[in-house]
Amino acid sequence: MLLELSSDQEIFRDTTARFLTSRVPISEVRSLRNHPAGFDPDYWREGAELGWTSLLVSEEHGGGSVSGGGLVDLTTIAHEFGVHAAPGPLVPTNVVAGTLSTFGGEAHRPVLESLLAGTSVAAWCFGPAVDTDGRGPAGPRCRIADGEVVLDGVQRPVEAAGQAHHILVTARAEGGLTQILVPTDTAGVSIEPMRTADLTRRFAAVTFDGVRLPVEALVGELGDADELLEYQLQLAVVIGNAEAVGALQTAFDMTLQWAFDRYSFGRPLASYQELKHRFADQKTWLEACHAVNDAAAAAVDDRSPDAKELVSAAKAFIGDYGSELVQDCVQIHGGIGVTFEHDLHLYLRRVTVNRALYGTPADHRQRISTVLENRKERA
C-alpha cells in the first residue's frame, strides 16, 4: 500500500477497512472455514458496491478509479484484505472484469455488469506456472470446429472456480494462446474442489471435456492472447502481493506487541538485544515489501516498459523475505505461535498460499533473467 495516500484514497481505504472489521472479524474468518464458498454472497455484493470490482473497468462500462491509477487504488483494498485475512475472490474477479472491459465484446457486457454489481464472481483459469521458457503456460487446448470453439483439457489450481459463474480460460490454439469466457454451467465443464491451506479461499481443478461455445465467447482475437495474458499476470501478481504485504503488516504488529507484553526473567522480550536485531531486520524487509510492490503497481498502471521486471522482482522479493518474516513471527511467539487457537496462523496461511500463486519466487527470477538476456541480445 502506498505510504502517502491522497485524501480520496484514504477515505476509500478506510471505508473498506471499517467494512471488513464489522463484517468479517477474525471470529467470522474462523467460522468461514467450513463455509462451502468461503464467503457470503451478500458480503461480496456489498463489497462490490464499495468499489472492489470496478477499479480496473473503464468509466464507459460503469467503472472508474479514485486516483486515475486503477491498480494502485486496488492495492489499497488488497492490502486491507491481507490485514484482515478477509475472504473473497478479489484477484480473479478483478482480472476478469478488467479484461472484459478492455477486450470483451458486446456479448460479454452482461457478464461484466454482473461482476461490477457483485451479483456474480469470475474465475481466472491461468494455470500452475508462469511462462519462463517463451512457450507460455501449459493448459487446455482449443480449436474452431463447425463455427464453434471447442475446448479440451484440465487446469489447476483455479481460485473460486467452484463459486464462479464464468471462467476466463487461457487455451492454446493452432495460432497461439487464446482466451475464452466459459459459463460454468456449460456441458462438458466439471469442477473438482482441491484442498488448500487458506481457510477462506477455495481452489479447484477444472476439466473441459469437448466444451463447445459460440465464437462470441472468445475474448480478444484467436491466437493473439500473449500480451493480454502477460498483462493479466502482472495485475494478479501485484494484487496478490499487496494482500500478502497487508498480512505481513498484521503479523509483524502482532508479534511486536507480543514482545512488549510478554515478560521473561522480569524483562519484556522486546528488551533483549537479539530480538531487537530480529525486529530491525523484519521492519526493513516489511518496508521494502511495501516499496517494491508500490513501484510495480505504478509501472503496470503506466504500462511502463519495465513493468514485467518490476512485477517479477516484487513477487520474488515478497515471496522470499515475506515468508521468512512471517515464519520468524511464529518462532518469536514460541509454542503459542503454532497453535490453531492463535490468530497468527491465519496470516501465515495467507502469505504461504500467495507465495505459491502465479509463479514461485524462483519462476519470477527466471522471468527477470529471460528479460535481461533478451535485452542484451537486442543491444
Mean pLDDT of 124-153: 76
Residue pair 103/218 in contact (Cβ under 8 Å)? The answer is no
Quote the DSSP letter at residue 119: S
pLDDT tens across 49-69, in order? 999 999 999 999 999 999 999
| CB < 8 Å & 24+ apart, contacts of 130-138 | 130/233, 130/358, 130/359, 130/363, 130/364, 130/367, 131/230, 131/367, 132/359, 132/363, 132/366, 132/367, 132/370, 134/370, 136/172, 136/177, 136/226, 136/229, 137/170, 137/229
The Cα angle at residue 79 between residues 165 and 240, in degrees rounded to 5: 55
Alpha helices by DSSP H, 144-264: 226-261
pLDDT at 3 over 70: no
Backbone phi, psi, residue 98, to 5°: -60, -40
pLDDT tens across 240-297, in order? 999 999 999 999 999 999 999 999 999 999 999 999 999 999 999 999 999 999 999 9
What percentage of the chain exceeds 90 in pLDDT? 89
Give residue 377's pLDDT band: very low, low, confident or very high (50, 70, 90). confident
Name which of 80, 79, 74, 55 is nearest 289 in CA terms: 79
Rounded Cα–Cα distance for residues 143 and 279 (Å)? 55
Give residue 138's pLDDT band: very low, low, confident or very high (50, 70, 90). low
Mean pLDDT of 216-243: 94
pLDDT tens across 175-188, in order? 899 999 999 999 99
Name which of 308, 225, 231, 248 is nearest 81 in CA terms: 248
Phi-psi region of 147 (alpha: psi -120 to 50; beta: other; left: phi over 0): left
Residues contacting 82, CB < 8 A, separation 6+: 242, 243, 244, 245, 246, 247, 248, 249, 250, 347, 350
Residue pair 99/228 in contact (Cβ under 8 Å)? The answer is yes
Dig out the grid coordinates for 50 from the structure: 464499495
Residue pair 96/168 in contact (Cβ under 8 Å)? The answer is yes
- Residue carrying C-alpha cell 487464446: 178
Other Cβ atoms less than 10 A from the Cβ of 108: the count is: 21
Residue pair 161/184 in contact (Cβ under 8 Å)? The answer is yes
Residue pair 113/82 in contact (Cβ under 8 Å)? The answer is no
Mean pLDDT of 119-145: 75
pTM of the model: 0.94
Residues contacting 128, CB < 8 A, separation 6+: 137, 138, 156, 157
Give residue 128's pLDDT band: very low, low, confident or very high (50, 70, 90). very low
Quote the DSSP letter at residue 16: H
Name which of 94, 17, 87 is nearest 63 in CA terms: 94
